């Protein structure tokens, strides 16, 4: 998991690069924001 995230980035970085401000689409994250930022994305607890 660490190798994959190191290679491609986390969800926010991937979104920004392909759909968000870093892309030609420039789509706002909207409901894809983290829950702490008013979105619906909630990470399950790791055990």
- What HEC string does 1-47 produce? CHHHHHHHCCHHHHHHHHCCCCCCCCCCCHHHCEHHHCCCECCCCCC
Give residue 43's pLDDT.
Answer: 77
- Give the pTM: 0.73
The angle formed by the CA atoms of residues 5, 20 and 3, to the nearest 5 degrees, is: 5
CA dist., res. 37 & res. 32, Å (int) = 10
Tokens encoding 44: 């399950």
8-44: pLDDT as tens digits: 999 999 999 999 999 999 999 999 898 889 999 887 7
Give residue 18's pLDDT.
Answer: 95
């Amino acid at each position: 998991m660490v190798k994959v995230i190191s290679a491609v980035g986390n969800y926010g970085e991937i979104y920004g690069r392909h759909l968000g401000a870093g892309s030609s689409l420039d789509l706002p994250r909207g409901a894809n924001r983290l829950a702490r930022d008013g979105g619906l994305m909630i990470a399950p607890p790791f055990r």
